[in-house]
């Protein structure tokens, strides 16, 4: 019996493709060993390590990257808005290689069987420790947020499991987004025990308009004075419930960023880093407008890019999601100026990287209270279940089907979240899988009458959050998923005229603006929403179906791309 690890290493001898870049080449050659994955020709006097959007995933995961990720305006066709073959071509990655598996959706189910799961905090710990051992006091390790939410354990412990395990990695700072959905009191309580700062220059209290969190922290690493500025998700009270954080106001606050950059430069910062949860397109625009930022560590939109993207003098780093990757950015800072850099997006292949024993123990302990429940098998997936994509994902199709039936609705609206792990075809669906796609603090499934007019308003509104040509008006989620409702969308049009041909799929009739439809949905941002938690209904549906097979979804017709 040959283990998967052995297969991966045997592969090293076969496909010797010559392509650019150390990382890409190593993966192309299938040298999936820890030393090859972490191999790095060290440079300069500072090393930034970055993770973002772990979303409560302590263990290695399957996570299929999107096959549809459209850019609009100036971002059209630019990374990260490349998928599949276009992505591979842009970055010189061979099809079916380990890098292709980690960063795109091409042949995902088949490649997942060869390359296995990616991530896990114990693999992350191994690599972080390795780099620290190599680079000593030159290392700054930063967490871009969306760390405390996205799994059963994180939700049940209200973020405690993630905080406890991340503490072992000793990050130097973090910022946040979904963290805030535990409410003001809990956020404050968790921050108190962190041992490192929670930075957010763009959060102010609603009463006095004063900063709630420290805006930045100064560090000295490798003899370089480094300022790390924190930028939380700007649209927290809009995209997520405002009632959970009623005293805090967010926003991009470009002027505040500018002012803080000037302040830290005056205070002697030789390197300025923005630890951001803005989303990639917002940060790209920001980099073109705010001078003096050397590096933006992006987050929120879950993009994994194998190269740094340069805007003017600013480097943008996109470190992926769900704990799949660790970014390493070596910088050469001389006399207050960035003279050179080297970057590698390190995929944490779980079968190639040795787990860190201390972290494995901590993860096991954190999961222990829920271990039995997490492992409980509810049904079986006959086709791949995944979420990411601008318009739909099969896991969301499953949620929509469950809500249509369990709440006896005509139409279902399901949020376009970008987090949620994948389930491979032919494998069991566990309680853990269901919660990885649904674990939020406002999970109630409402059932109510909505007019056709209102439905169109909602689709138009969400589409504009995604496709407004000005990134500052984008919120960074994907399109709301619809069950029982088909529509056409022209992404190039302005708000109010993108959506057409709305159809009630069951009857095949056009949606009547004046008719009321019975709509079920979850993740309402309104306080006092009542209904059973979404995971309960999804579980009940899967249990009844026993085996689920999601047919390709053709209910959204896309144009204007």
Partner 1 sequence: MRQLSRRAALAFGAGGAALTIVGWDRPAFAAAKEAADEIAKFTGGKTAAKAKVSIELPEIAENGNTVPLAVSIDAPMTAENYVSEVLVVAEGNPNPGVATFHFSPMSGKAEASTRIRLATTQNIVVVAKTSKGEFFTGQKLVKVTIGGCGG
Task: Give alpha helix (H) positions in 46-193.
Answer: 84-91, 98-103, 108-115, 121-135, 152-156, 160-169, 184-192
For 391, list phi and psi in degrees, rounded to 5. -115, -35
- 3-state DSSP assignment of residue 241: coil
Q: Residue 409 CB, nearest distance to partner 1 (Å)?
A: 10
Partnered with residue 221 across adjacent β-strands are 224
Instruction: Give the residue, chosen from 51, 154, 462, 538, that forms a contact with partner 1 under the rule CB under 8 A.
Output: 462
Among 209, 335, 507, 514, indicate the residue that binds partner 1 (CB under 8 A): 209
Binding segment for partner 1 (CB under 8 A), chosen from 24-32, 116-124, 192-200, 494-502, is 494-502
Is residue 497 near partner 1 by the rule CB under 8 A?
A: yes
**Whole-number minimum distance, CB 231 to partner 1, in Å?**
14
In the bound state with partner 1, the residue whose beta carbon lies nearer, of 335 and 514, is: 514
Residue 527 binds partner 1, judged by CB under 8 A: yes
Interface pick for partner 1 out of 67, 129, 191, 473 (rule CB under 8 A):
473
Does 235 bind partner 1 (CB under 8 A)? Our answer is: yes
The verdict on 535 binding partner 1 (CB under 8 A) reads no
Q: Are 420 and 387 in contact (CB under 8 A)?
A: yes
Position 529 contacts partner 1 (CB under 8 A) = yes
Rule CB under 8 A: say whether 96 interacts with partner 1.
no
* 75 in contact with partner 1 (CB under 8 A): no
- Please report whether residue 19 would count as binding partner 1 according to CB under 8 A: no
Sequential DSSP letters for 168-224: HH--SEE--SGGGGG-HHHHHHHHHTTSS-B--TT-EETTT--BSS--EEEEEETTE
Q: Which is nearer to partner 1, 35 or 526 (CB)?
A: 526
Check residue 464 for interaction with partner 1 (CB under 8 A).
yes
- In the bound complex, what is the minimum distance in angstroms from residue 475's beta carbon to partner 1? 4
Q: Which is nearer to partner 1, 63 or 101 (CB)?
A: 63
* CB of residue 234 to partner 1, shortest distance in Å: 8
* Residue 46 contacts residue 222 (beta carbons within 8 Å): yes
The verdict on 61 binding partner 1 (CB under 8 A) reads: no
- Least distance to partner 1, CB of residue 250, Å: 7
CB of 209 to partner 1, least distance (A): 7
Beta bridge partners of 334: 337
By the rule CB under 8 A, 528 interacts with partner 1: yes
Nearest-angstrom CA–CA distance, 143 and 176: 9
Tokens (6 digits) for 400? 């929509």
Q: Counting contacts by CB under 8 A, is residue 406 touching partner 1?
A: yes
The residues in 247-266 that bind partner 1, with binding defined as CB under 8 A, are 249-252, 255
Tell whether residue 475 is a contact of partner 1 (CB under 8 A): yes
Q: What size, in residues, is the chain?
A: 561
322 in Cβ contact with 119 (< 8 Å) = yes
Map residues 163-192 to x or -, x wherever contact with partner 1 holds by CB under 8 A. Answer: --------------xx--------------
Largest CA distance in the chain: 69
458 binds partner 1 (CB under 8 A): yes
Binding-site member from 238, 311, 505, 556 for partner 1 (CB under 8 A) = 238
Among 107, 262, 332, 460, binds partner 1 (CB under 8 A): 460
Nearest to partner 1 of 291, 364 (CB atom): 291
Question: Residue 344 is inside which H or E element, if any?
Answer: strand 337-347
The least CB distance from residue 397 to partner 1, in Å, is 17
4, containing H or E segment? helix 4-14
Angle, vertex CA 390, rays to CA 389 and CA 391, nearest 5: 95
Residues 444, 532: contact at Cβ < 8 Å? yes
Neighbours of 220 (CB within 10 A): 12
Q: To the nearest whole angstrom, how small is the minimum distance from the Cβ of residue 17 to partner 1?
A: 37
- Those residues whose C-beta lies under 8 Å from the C-beta of residue 475, and which sit 6 or more positions away, are 235, 238, 239, 279, 465, 466
**Omega before residue 80 within 30° of 0, cis:** yes
**Is residue 514 within the footprint of partner 1 (CB under 8 A)?**
no
Instruction: Return the residue of 85, 136, 496, 560 that touches partner 1, per CB under 8 A.
Output: 496
- Residues facing residue 275 across a β-bridge: 230, 297
Residues with Cβ < 8 Å from 339, sequence gap 6 or more?
A: 44, 332, 333
Q: Are the beta carbons of 490 and 498 closer than 8 angstroms?
A: yes
Looking at the Cβ atoms of 191 and 495, the one nearer to partner 1 is 495
Given 15, 156, 448, 558, the residue binding partner 1 (CB under 8 A): 448
Whole-angstrom Cα distance, residue 214 to residue 386? Answer: 37
Residues 269-328 interacting with partner 1 (rule: CB under 8 A): none
Asked whether position 480 contacts partner 1 by CB under 8 A, the answer is: yes
Counting residues that bind partner 1 (by CB under 8 A) gives 58
The smaller minimum CB distance to partner 1, of residues 189 and 460, is found at 460
Compute the distance between CA of residue 10 and CA of residue 8 in angstroms, rounded to an integer: 6
| Using rule CB under 8 A, residue 239 touches partner 1 | yes
Among residues 7, 456, 516, 556, which is the contact residue for partner 1, using CB under 8 A? 456
Q: Supply the minimum distance, in Å, between the C-beta of residue 315 and partner 1.
A: 25
Least separation in angstroms between residue 74's CB and partner 1 is 16
Interface with partner 1, residue 500, by CB under 8 A: no
End-to-end alpha-carbon separation of the chain, Å?
A: 48
Work out which of 532, 553, 556, 558 binds partner 1, going by CB under 8 A. 532
Distance CA 33, CA 351 (A): 9
The set of residues, in sequence order, having a beta carbon less than 8 Å from that of 518 and lying 6+ positions away, is 408, 409, 410, 411, 447, 448, 449
Contact residues for partner 1, defined by CB under 8 A: 177-178, 209, 233-235, 237-240, 242, 249-252, 255, 406-408, 415-419, 446-449, 454, 456-458, 460-462, 464-465, 468, 472-473, 475-477, 479-480, 495-497, 523-532
């Amino acid at each position: 019996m040959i283990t998967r690890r052995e297969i991966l290493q045997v592969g090293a001898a076969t496909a010797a493709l010559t392509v650019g870049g150390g990382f890409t080449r190593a993966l192309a050659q299938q040298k999936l060993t820890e030393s090859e994955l972490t191999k790095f020709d060290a440079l300069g006097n500072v090393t930034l390590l970055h993770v973002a959007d772990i979303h409560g995933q302590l263990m290695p995961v399957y996570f299929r990257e999107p096959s549809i990720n459209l850019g609009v305006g100036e971002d059209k066709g630019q990374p990260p808005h490349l998928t599949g073959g276009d992505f591979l071509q842009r970055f010189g990655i061979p099809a079916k290689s380990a890098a292709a598996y980690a960063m795109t959706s091409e042949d995902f189910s088949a490649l997942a069987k060869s390359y296995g799961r990616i991530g896990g905090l114990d693999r992350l710990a191994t690599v972080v420790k390795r780099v620290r051992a190599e680079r000593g006091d030159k290392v700054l390790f930063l967490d871009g947020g969306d760390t405390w939410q996205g799994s059963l354990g994180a939700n049940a412990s209200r973020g405690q499991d993630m905080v406890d395990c991340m503490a072992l990695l000793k990050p130097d700072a973090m910022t946040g987004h979904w963290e805030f959905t535990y409410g003001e009191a809990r956020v404050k309580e968790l921050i108190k025990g962190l041992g490192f700062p929670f930075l957010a220059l763009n959060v102010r209290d609603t009463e006095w308009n004063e900063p709630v969190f420290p805006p930045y922290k100064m560090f000295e690493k490798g003899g370089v004075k480094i300022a790390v500025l924190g930028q939380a998700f700007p649209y927290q009270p809009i995209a997520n419930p405002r009632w959970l954080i009623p005293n805090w106001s967010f926003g991009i606050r470009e002027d505040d960023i500018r002012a803080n950059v000037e302040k830290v430069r005056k205070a002697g910062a030789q390197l300025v880093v923005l630890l951001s949860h803005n989303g990639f397109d917002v940060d790209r625009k920001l980099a073109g407008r705010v001078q003096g930022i050397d590096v933006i560590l992006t987050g929120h939109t879950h993009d994994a890019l194998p190269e740094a993207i340069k805007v003017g003098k600013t480097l943008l780093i996109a470190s992926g999601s769900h704990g799949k990757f660790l970014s390493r950015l070596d910088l050469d800072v001389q006399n207050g100026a960035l003279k050179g850099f080297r970057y590698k997006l390190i995929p944490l292949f779980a079968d190639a990287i040795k787990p860190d024993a201390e972290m494995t123990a901590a993860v096991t302990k954190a999961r222990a209270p829920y271990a039995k429940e997490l492992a409980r098998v509810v049904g079986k997936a006959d086709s791949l279940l995944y979420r990411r994509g601008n318009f739909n994902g099969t896991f969301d199709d499953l949620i929509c089907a469950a809500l249509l039936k369990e709440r006896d609705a005509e139409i279902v609206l399901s949020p376009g979240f970008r987090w949620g792990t994948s389930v491979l075809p032919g494998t069991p669906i566990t309680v853990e899988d269901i919660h990885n796609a649904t674990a939020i603090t406002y999970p109630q499934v409402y059932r109510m009458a909505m007019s056709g007019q209102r439905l169109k308003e909602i689709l138009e509104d969400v589409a504009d959050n995604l496709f407004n040509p000005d990134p500052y008006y984008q919120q960074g989620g994907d399109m709301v998923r619809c069950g029982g409702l088909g529509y056409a969308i022209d992404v190039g049009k302005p708000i109010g005229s993108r959506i057409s041909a709305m159809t009630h799929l069951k009857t095949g009739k056009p949606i009547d603006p004046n008719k009321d439809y019975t709509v079920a949905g979850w993740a309402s941002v309104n306080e006092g929403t009542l209904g059973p938690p979404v995971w309960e209904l999804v579980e009940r549906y899967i249990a009844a179906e026993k085996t689920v097979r999601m047919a390709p979804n053709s209910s959204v017709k896309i144009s204007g791309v």
